[in-house]
Amino acid sequence: MSAASFRFHGELQRFLTRERRGVPLAHEYARAATLKQAIESLGVPHTEVGRLTVNGVAATLARTVRENDVVDAFPHEPGRAPFEEPLSFIADAHMGGLARMLRMLGFDTIYDNVLQDAAIVARAAAERRVVLTRDRELLKCRDVLRGCYVHALKPEAQVREVAQRYGIAAHMHPFTLCLHCNLPLEPADLHAICERVPERIRSAYSRFVHCRGCDRVFWEGSHWDRMRSVLAATLDVPLSDMR
């Protein structure tokens, strides 16, 4: 066994019990244990660690824990969490509201409340998506390379949390995806939708979009204005950015 001391900083302390926060944690580990294994055994998913130092020197999660190591783990700096371009997500069964808001912002977000953990992990790996969840055990899976533990419970607070972590305001394309199908919206042929849209709507609006997945037609009505206002307030950006 090897004995090492761990110090968790910032929001990483939220994964610890109250009596273990803000103090060095001495623990024993098998000699072959990596920092990833040691940190996760203390309750912190590896996806939440942004920077590591051991004895004051930068280290990676793959480093082996050694006798008398002093390990400092820091959270991701705002806007610096790793992701693959283009930024895309996969949300677990409890993240439906967050998934909908991310789709409003134009982020490809897979959500299906019947997806099991194994399917989420496999798809995230294959498509290089960020896993969004409140299940820390899911994030501890070694095949989850990019993930985010969402602390907040309400969708607006959740999207603020994700926005701060990934700097999503710089990557968003609002109202370009179908909220139901997650597919790109396309300009609608006015002649094709003539019988599907009330005459009063056709005369009030000039731009319509269509989803080829669910065959819905959308226009920039009062509901669209409300969504724009909510998103702008949530991300603290000008309303003009929500176009």
In this structure, the answer to whether residues 134 and 189 fall within a common structural domain is: no
The whole-angstrom separation of Cα 243 and Cα 234 is 15
In this structure, the answer to whether residues 93 and 162 fall within a common structural domain is: yes
Number of domains in the chain: 3
Q: CB within 8 A of 230, min separation 6: which ones? A: 156
Task: Check residue 10 and give its pLDDT.
Answer: 97
pLDDT (tens digit, 9 = 90+) per residue, 77-136? 999 999 999 999 999 999 999 999 999 999 999 999 999 999 999 999 999 999 999 999
Q: With pLDDT > 70 as the criterion, what percentage of the chain qualifies?
A: 100
In this structure, the answer to whether residues 70 and 60 fall within a common structural domain is: yes
In this structure, the answer to whether residues 71 and 81 fall within a common structural domain is: no
Task: Check residue 206 and give its pLDDT.
Answer: 84
Question: Comparing C-alpha atoms, which of 93, 137, 95 is closest to residue 115?
Answer: 93
Task: Check residue 30 and give its pLDDT.
Answer: 84
Alpha helices by DSSP H, 22-154? 35-41, 96-104, 117-127, 136-139
Task: Check residue 215 and give its pLDDT.
Answer: 92
Alpha helices by DSSP H, 128-238? 136-139, 155-166, 199-204, 222-235
Measured CA distances, 164 to 124, 140, 168, 234 (Å): 21, 22, 7, 11
DSSP 8-state secondary structure symbol assigned to residue 64 = B
9: pLDDT strictly greater than 90: yes
The whole-angstrom separation of Cα 173 and Cα 195 is 30
- Listed residues 75, 95, 118: the one ending a domain: 75
- Listed residues 173, 195, 221: the one ending a domain: 173
Question: Residue 182 region, left (φ>0) first, then alpha (ψ -120 to 50), else beta?
Answer: left
How buried is 226 (Cβ within 10 angstroms: 0-12 exposed, 13-18 middle, 19+ buried)?
A: exposed
17: CATH: 3.10.20.30
29: pLDDT strictly greater than 90: no
The whole-angstrom separation of Cα 171 and Cα 60 is 28
Q: Is the entire prediction scored with pTM above 0.75?
A: yes
Give me the domain span that covers residue 51.
2-75
Question: Comparing C-alpha atoms, which of 19, 3, 167 is closest to residue 80?
Answer: 167
pLDDT (tens digit, 9 = 90+) per residue, 158-216? 999 999 999 999 999 999 999 999 999 999 988 888 888 988 998 898 899 999 999 99
> Per-residue confidence at 1, pLDDT binned at 50, 70, 90?
confident
Coil vs helix vs strand at 76: coil
In this structure, the answer to whether residues 62 and 107 fall within a common structural domain is: no
In this structure, the answer to whether residues 137 and 162 fall within a common structural domain is: yes
- Listed residues 120, 141, 173: the one ending a domain: 173
In this structure, the answer to whether residues 70 and 81 fall within a common structural domain is: no
> Per-residue confidence at 2, pLDDT binned at 50, 70, 90?
confident
In this structure, the answer to whether residues 165 and 86 fall within a common structural domain is: yes
> Per-residue confidence at 243, pLDDT binned at 50, 70, 90?
confident
Mean pLDDT for all residues in the chain = 95
In this structure, the answer to whether residues 110 and 167 fall within a common structural domain is: yes
In this structure, the answer to whether residues 157 and 83 fall within a common structural domain is: yes
Task: Check residue 191 and give its pLDDT.
Answer: 84
In this structure, the answer to whether residues 61 and 93 fall within a common structural domain is: no
In this structure, the answer to whether residues 26 and 100 fall within a common structural domain is: no
